[in-house]
Chain A
Amino acid sequence: KNQVEQSPQSLIILEGKNCTLQCNYTVSPFSNLRWYKQDTGRGPVSLTIMTFSENTKSNGRYTATLDADTKQSSLHITASQLSDSASYICVVSSMDSSYKLIFGSGTRLLVRP
């Protein structure tokens, strides 16, 4: 069964610190993996997308990694800011059906001053 598991479920860090969010998936055959950021009361916004051949991609202070062999991805946030407080959602698509995305439950991040 195609699944996406994220950990931790929630995380609290102090402003300025780094953190890493994890995503494990069982989707096959794999097409691509996206990380979305969802602020409270808003829709998700795409941060990065990686295909099978890419193992790292950066977007400002956000760096995503992908290990297609172990089917794991991580999102690293550097020098966190209060505005990073949000839910981060890992989304995987399968080659079988590229319009059907498999969503993780998200990691809720709170950055405290």
Chain B
Amino acid sequence: ETGVTQTPRHLVMGMTNKKSLKCEQHLGHNAMYWYKQSAKKPLELMFVYSLEERVENNSVPSRFSPECPNSSHLFLHLHTLQPEDSALYLCASRLDRGSNQPQHFGDGTRLSIL
């Protein structure tokens, strides 16, 4: 148990659907992250939030829309996705974005686009 919970664990959706991924942490961390993990590729940083403010948007297509309503919750809203968006989406949190403390990862949402 890492303290970071992601839901759903699995999601299958069509290209025209709209869905949201949810991440929750109660570790008292101030920074939260979304990553994309594709097979045999390094984790790709998508978004970084620090104290609920987005501080990084790593050239992610607009069909991915993050939301951080408070420091414990992070969402990733999805719409009109493409087949190449099928991947494992990992959420992570950290005490502060500049800290040397490790990131704590959730177990991810496995997303499949039909």
- Which residues of A are interface residues toward B (Cβ below 8 A)? 4, 9, 31-32, 34, 41-46, 49, 51, 89, 98-106
CB distance A99 to B55 under 8 Å?
A: yes
A44, A49, A99, A102: which contacts B48 (Cβ < 8 A)?
A99
Give 20 A-B pairs besides A41-B107, A99-B97 with Cβ atoms closer than 8 angstroms: A43-B90, A43-B106, A43-B107, A43-B108, A44-B105, A46-B102, A46-B104, A49-B100, A98-B98, A99-B31, A99-B48, A99-B55, A99-B94, A100-B48, A101-B45, A101-B103, A103-B42, A104-B42, A105-B40, A106-B42
Provide the residues of chain B in CB contact with A101, threshold 8 Å.
45, 103
Provide the residues of chain A in CB contact with B43, threshold 8 Å.
44, 89, 103
* A56 to B45 CA separation, bound complex (whole angstroms): 28
Q: Tell me what chain A mostly uses at the interface: helix, strand, loop, or mixed.
A: strand
CB distance A99 to B56 under 8 Å?
A: yes
The verdict on B59 contacting chain A, using a C-beta distance below 8 Å, is no
Q: Identify 12 residue pairs between A and B in the complex whose beta-carbon atoms are under 8 Å apart, listed by A's number.
A: A9-B40, A31-B100, A32-B100, A43-B2, A44-B90, A46-B104, A98-B100, A99-B55, A101-B103, A103-B42, A105-B40, A106-B42
Question: How far, in Å, is A67 (CB) from chain B's closest CB?
Answer: 20
Question: How far, in Å, is A63 (CB) from chain B's closest CB?
Answer: 18
The verdict on B81 contacting chain A, using a C-beta distance below 8 Å, is no
Provide the residues of chain B in CB contact with A46, threshold 8 Å.
102-104
* A60 to B101 CA separation, bound complex (whole angstroms): 19
Provide the residues of chain A in CB contact with B40, threshold 8 Å.
9, 105
| Given A45-B2, A100-B56, A105-B41, A34:B102 Cβ within 8 A | yes
CB distance A49 to B107 under 8 Å?
A: no
Question: How far, in Å, is B111 (CB) from chain A's closest CB?
Answer: 14
| Given A43-B4, A43-B90, A100:B45 Cβ within 8 A | yes
Provide the residues of chain A in CB contact with B50, threshold 8 Å.
99
Chain B residue at minimal CB-CB distance from A106: B42
* A101 to B100 CA separation, bound complex (whole angstroms): 11
